[in-house]
Amino acid sequence: MKLNDILNNLFGNNPPPKPPPAPAAQPKPTVGFTVPPDCAMQVSKVVKQFDLVARSYNLPIWAPQSAADHLHDWGVMLAHGDLQSASLQLLAADKSILYELSIRFEGQKPKLGLVDSANGVELPVLDRAAVVGHRLMIQQNGREAVYRHLLRMTWRPAEALRKRPGDTFASEHARKITGGRQTANVHVGAEARQRLVVTQTGEAGYAFGEVPAKGWKGIFLHRKFAPPGFQFRIGQQLLAVCVQTPRGLQARAIQPV
Protein backbone atom coordinates (compact mmCIF):
# COMPACT_ATOMS: atom_id res chain seq x y z
CA MET A 1 0.00 0.00 0.00
CA LYS A 2 1.35 3.48 -0.80
CA LEU A 3 2.19 5.95 1.98
CA ASN A 4 -0.54 8.39 0.95
CA ASP A 5 -3.12 5.62 1.10
CA ILE A 6 -1.93 4.60 4.60
CA LEU A 7 -2.10 8.21 5.87
CA ASN A 8 -5.54 8.74 4.38
CA ASN A 9 -6.83 5.61 6.06
CA LEU A 10 -5.31 6.62 9.41
CA PHE A 11 -6.42 10.27 9.48
CA GLY A 12 -9.75 9.99 7.67
CA ASN A 13 -8.80 11.89 4.56
CA ASN A 14 -10.66 9.60 2.16
CA PRO A 15 -12.82 11.55 -0.30
CA PRO A 16 -16.54 11.27 0.40
CA PRO A 17 -18.37 8.70 -1.68
CA LYS A 18 -20.09 9.95 -4.81
CA PRO A 19 -23.80 10.63 -4.32
CA PRO A 20 -26.23 8.29 -6.13
CA PRO A 21 -27.53 9.57 -9.46
CA ALA A 22 -30.67 11.71 -9.23
CA PRO A 23 -33.83 10.15 -10.61
CA ALA A 24 -34.73 11.23 -14.14
CA ALA A 25 -37.22 14.06 -14.38
CA GLN A 26 -40.72 12.74 -14.83
CA PRO A 27 -43.03 14.32 -17.44
CA LYS A 28 -45.80 16.43 -16.04
CA PRO A 29 -49.10 14.59 -15.96
CA THR A 30 -51.53 15.73 -18.65
CA VAL A 31 -55.23 16.25 -18.13
CA GLY A 32 -57.06 13.37 -19.81
CA PHE A 33 -60.45 13.54 -21.47
CA THR A 34 -62.73 10.64 -22.22
CA VAL A 35 -65.37 11.16 -24.89
CA PRO A 36 -68.80 10.34 -23.38
CA PRO A 37 -70.21 7.03 -24.71
CA ASP A 38 -73.22 8.65 -26.39
CA CYS A 39 -71.02 11.14 -28.24
CA ALA A 40 -68.61 8.37 -29.24
CA MET A 41 -71.52 6.31 -30.57
CA GLN A 42 -72.91 9.21 -32.61
CA VAL A 43 -69.63 10.09 -34.29
CA SER A 44 -68.88 6.42 -34.97
CA LYS A 45 -72.13 6.22 -36.98
CA VAL A 46 -70.93 9.13 -39.12
CA VAL A 47 -67.47 7.66 -39.64
CA LYS A 48 -68.92 4.32 -40.75
CA GLN A 49 -71.19 5.97 -43.34
CA PHE A 50 -68.37 8.13 -44.69
CA ASP A 51 -66.07 5.12 -44.79
CA LEU A 52 -68.52 3.15 -46.93
CA VAL A 53 -68.69 5.98 -49.47
CA ALA A 54 -64.90 6.29 -49.45
CA ARG A 55 -64.37 2.57 -50.07
CA SER A 56 -66.91 2.65 -52.92
CA TYR A 57 -64.76 5.24 -54.70
CA ASN A 58 -61.39 4.01 -53.39
CA LEU A 59 -60.71 7.38 -51.73
CA PRO A 60 -58.31 7.80 -48.77
CA ILE A 61 -60.55 10.28 -46.99
CA TRP A 62 -58.88 9.91 -43.57
CA ALA A 63 -55.30 10.57 -44.72
CA PRO A 64 -52.91 11.90 -43.60
CA GLN A 65 -54.48 11.37 -40.16
CA SER A 66 -56.71 8.40 -39.37
CA ALA A 67 -60.33 7.53 -38.80
CA ALA A 68 -59.49 7.21 -35.10
CA ASP A 69 -58.23 10.82 -35.01
CA HIS A 70 -61.47 12.05 -36.56
CA LEU A 71 -63.51 9.93 -34.16
CA HIS A 72 -61.66 11.48 -31.24
CA ASP A 73 -61.85 15.12 -32.38
CA TRP A 74 -65.49 14.97 -33.45
CA GLY A 75 -66.34 13.28 -30.16
CA VAL A 76 -64.60 16.07 -28.23
CA MET A 77 -66.43 18.72 -30.25
CA LEU A 78 -69.80 17.04 -29.77
CA ALA A 79 -69.21 16.63 -26.04
CA HIS A 80 -68.59 20.39 -25.81
CA GLY A 81 -71.70 21.26 -27.83
CA ASP A 82 -69.62 22.50 -30.76
CA LEU A 83 -70.42 20.17 -33.66
CA GLN A 84 -73.37 21.09 -35.86
CA SER A 85 -72.64 18.83 -38.83
CA ALA A 86 -70.05 16.77 -40.66
CA SER A 87 -69.97 16.40 -44.44
CA LEU A 88 -68.16 14.30 -47.00
CA GLN A 89 -67.84 15.95 -50.42
CA LEU A 90 -66.72 14.32 -53.66
CA LEU A 91 -65.19 16.78 -56.12
CA ALA A 92 -65.00 17.06 -59.90
CA ALA A 93 -61.95 18.21 -61.86
CA ASP A 94 -63.11 21.84 -61.68
CA LYS A 95 -63.38 21.58 -57.85
CA SER A 96 -67.15 21.72 -57.93
CA ILE A 97 -69.07 19.42 -55.59
CA LEU A 98 -70.47 16.39 -57.39
CA TYR A 99 -71.79 14.67 -54.29
CA GLU A 100 -72.24 15.56 -50.64
CA LEU A 101 -73.42 13.55 -47.67
CA SER A 102 -74.07 16.02 -44.88
CA ILE A 103 -75.01 14.66 -41.44
CA ARG A 104 -76.38 16.97 -38.77
CA PHE A 105 -76.25 16.41 -35.01
CA GLU A 106 -79.73 17.49 -33.98
CA GLY A 107 -79.70 16.43 -30.34
CA GLN A 108 -83.27 15.13 -30.48
CA LYS A 109 -84.67 12.42 -28.25
CA PRO A 110 -84.56 8.93 -29.77
CA LYS A 111 -87.57 7.98 -31.88
CA LEU A 112 -89.02 4.56 -32.66
CA GLY A 113 -90.64 3.29 -35.82
CA LEU A 114 -88.39 5.12 -38.28
CA VAL A 115 -88.21 3.64 -41.78
CA ASP A 116 -85.02 2.83 -43.71
CA SER A 117 -86.13 1.83 -47.23
CA ALA A 118 -82.52 1.20 -48.29
CA ASN A 119 -81.41 -0.68 -45.17
CA GLY A 120 -78.05 1.02 -45.66
CA VAL A 121 -76.30 4.08 -47.06
CA GLU A 122 -78.01 5.45 -50.18
CA LEU A 123 -75.09 5.71 -52.61
CA PRO A 124 -75.95 7.56 -55.85
CA VAL A 125 -74.71 5.91 -59.02
CA LEU A 126 -72.06 8.32 -60.34
CA ASP A 127 -69.43 8.13 -63.04
CA ARG A 128 -66.42 7.13 -60.96
CA ALA A 129 -64.04 8.72 -63.46
CA ALA A 130 -65.66 12.09 -62.75
CA VAL A 131 -64.66 11.95 -59.06
CA VAL A 132 -61.13 13.33 -58.78
CA GLY A 133 -61.02 14.60 -55.21
CA HIS A 134 -62.73 14.77 -51.85
CA ARG A 135 -62.78 16.64 -48.58
CA LEU A 136 -64.28 16.40 -45.10
CA MET A 137 -66.07 19.45 -43.71
CA ILE A 138 -67.50 20.34 -40.31
CA GLN A 139 -69.68 23.15 -38.98
CA GLN A 140 -69.06 24.37 -35.44
CA ASN A 141 -70.59 26.83 -32.97
CA GLY A 142 -67.41 28.81 -32.27
CA ARG A 143 -66.48 27.23 -28.92
CA GLU A 144 -63.18 25.63 -29.92
CA ALA A 145 -61.07 27.81 -27.60
CA VAL A 146 -62.44 25.86 -24.62
CA TYR A 147 -61.24 22.45 -25.78
CA ARG A 148 -58.61 23.08 -28.49
CA HIS A 149 -55.87 21.57 -26.29
CA LEU A 150 -57.76 18.24 -26.36
CA LEU A 151 -57.79 17.89 -30.16
CA ARG A 152 -55.41 15.70 -32.11
CA MET A 153 -55.68 17.67 -35.34
CA THR A 154 -55.64 21.31 -36.36
CA TRP A 155 -58.90 22.43 -37.93
CA ARG A 156 -58.87 25.44 -40.26
CA PRO A 157 -61.43 27.37 -42.33
CA ALA A 158 -61.99 25.85 -45.77
CA GLU A 159 -62.49 27.34 -49.20
CA ALA A 160 -66.12 27.68 -50.27
CA LEU A 161 -66.81 25.48 -53.30
CA ARG A 162 -69.76 25.48 -55.68
CA LYS A 163 -72.29 22.68 -55.55
CA ARG A 164 -73.28 21.47 -58.98
CA PRO A 165 -76.97 22.00 -59.80
CA GLY A 166 -78.82 18.81 -59.08
CA ASP A 167 -81.01 17.06 -56.54
CA THR A 168 -81.07 16.91 -52.75
CA PHE A 169 -82.89 14.25 -50.76
CA ALA A 170 -83.00 13.10 -47.14
CA SER A 171 -81.14 10.01 -45.98
CA GLU A 172 -83.52 7.68 -44.20
CA HIS A 173 -80.60 5.49 -43.18
CA ALA A 174 -78.76 8.18 -41.17
CA ARG A 175 -81.95 9.01 -39.30
CA LYS A 176 -82.89 5.39 -38.64
CA ILE A 177 -79.57 4.19 -37.21
CA THR A 178 -79.49 7.04 -34.67
CA GLY A 179 -83.16 7.01 -33.73
CA GLY A 180 -83.59 10.50 -35.16
CA ARG A 181 -80.74 12.07 -33.20
CA GLN A 182 -79.04 12.72 -36.53
CA THR A 183 -80.53 13.75 -39.86
CA ALA A 184 -78.76 13.85 -43.20
CA ASN A 185 -79.14 15.13 -46.73
CA VAL A 186 -77.57 13.82 -49.92
CA HIS A 187 -76.84 16.26 -52.75
CA VAL A 188 -75.86 14.94 -56.16
CA GLY A 189 -75.21 16.70 -59.46
CA ALA A 190 -77.84 16.61 -62.21
CA GLU A 191 -75.65 14.31 -64.33
CA ALA A 192 -76.67 11.50 -61.96
CA ARG A 193 -80.31 11.71 -63.10
CA GLN A 194 -81.56 8.76 -65.11
CA ARG A 195 -84.61 8.34 -67.34
CA LEU A 196 -86.78 5.54 -65.95
CA VAL A 197 -89.84 3.71 -67.23
CA VAL A 198 -92.35 2.29 -64.74
CA THR A 199 -92.79 -1.45 -65.35
CA GLN A 200 -94.87 -2.53 -62.36
CA THR A 201 -97.09 -0.85 -59.78
CA GLY A 202 -98.34 -2.04 -56.42
CA GLU A 203 -100.26 -0.99 -53.36
CA ALA A 204 -99.02 1.33 -50.61
CA GLY A 205 -97.43 3.72 -53.11
CA TYR A 206 -94.60 1.59 -54.45
CA ALA A 207 -93.65 0.57 -57.98
CA PHE A 208 -90.73 -0.81 -59.97
CA GLY A 209 -89.00 0.60 -63.02
CA GLU A 210 -86.06 0.21 -65.35
CA VAL A 211 -83.46 2.37 -67.09
CA PRO A 212 -83.48 1.11 -70.71
CA ALA A 213 -80.37 3.09 -71.66
CA LYS A 214 -78.32 1.29 -68.98
CA GLY A 215 -80.09 -2.06 -68.91
CA TRP A 216 -80.95 -1.60 -65.22
CA LYS A 217 -84.14 -3.36 -64.11
CA GLY A 218 -86.11 -3.91 -60.93
CA ILE A 219 -85.48 -0.41 -59.56
CA PHE A 220 -87.60 0.23 -56.46
CA LEU A 221 -89.79 3.35 -56.58
CA HIS A 222 -91.93 4.89 -53.86
CA ARG A 223 -94.14 7.92 -54.02
CA LYS A 224 -92.65 9.36 -50.81
CA PHE A 225 -89.59 10.14 -52.94
CA ALA A 226 -91.75 11.96 -55.52
CA PRO A 227 -93.77 15.22 -55.41
CA PRO A 228 -96.87 15.20 -53.14
CA GLY A 229 -99.87 13.37 -54.62
CA PHE A 230 -97.76 11.58 -57.24
CA GLN A 231 -99.17 8.35 -58.70
CA PHE A 232 -97.26 5.71 -60.66
CA ARG A 233 -98.58 4.25 -63.93
CA ILE A 234 -97.14 1.43 -66.00
CA GLY A 235 -95.26 2.83 -68.99
CA GLN A 236 -94.82 6.21 -67.28
CA GLN A 237 -91.46 7.94 -67.89
CA LEU A 238 -89.63 9.56 -64.99
CA LEU A 239 -86.39 11.28 -64.08
CA ALA A 240 -84.73 10.15 -60.86
CA VAL A 241 -81.44 9.61 -59.09
CA CYS A 242 -80.64 5.91 -58.84
CA VAL A 243 -78.99 4.89 -55.58
CA GLN A 244 -77.23 1.63 -54.83
CA THR A 245 -78.36 0.09 -51.53
CA PRO A 246 -78.08 -3.26 -49.74
CA ARG A 247 -81.59 -3.93 -51.07
CA GLY A 248 -80.66 -3.18 -54.67
CA LEU A 249 -81.19 -0.15 -56.89
CA GLN A 250 -83.73 2.39 -55.70
CA ALA A 251 -84.87 5.78 -56.97
CA ARG A 252 -84.72 9.14 -55.18
CA ALA A 253 -85.73 12.68 -56.20
CA ILE A 254 -88.37 11.25 -58.58
CA GLN A 255 -89.79 13.72 -61.10
CA PRO A 256 -92.20 13.38 -64.01
CA VAL A 257 -90.66 13.90 -67.45
Would you kindly state where each structural domain of the chain is located, as residue ranges?
Answer: 33-191
pLDDT of residue 94: 96
Higher-confidence residue of 235 and 7: namely: 235
Residue 116 clears pLDDT 70, i.e. is over it? yes
Higher-confidence residue of 122 and 30: namely: 122
Rounded to an integer, the average pLDDT of 10-37 is 55
Residue 22 clears pLDDT 50, i.e. is over it? no
Q: Please report, rounded to a whole number, the percentage of residues in the chain having pLDDT higher than 90.
A: 83
Mean of the per-residue pLDDT values of the chain: 89
Whole-number Cα distances in Å, 199 to 124, 133, 216, 243, 250: 21, 37, 12, 18, 14
Residue 3 clears pLDDT 70, i.e. is over it? no
In this prediction, residue 106 has a pLDDT band, given cuts at 50, 70 and 90, of confident
Domain 33-191 sits in CATH at 3.30.900.10
Closest CA to 105 of 44, 169, 60: 44
In this prediction, residue 31 has a pLDDT band, given cuts at 50, 70 and 90, of low
Contact 86, 138 (CB under 8 A): yes
pLDDT of residue 52: 96
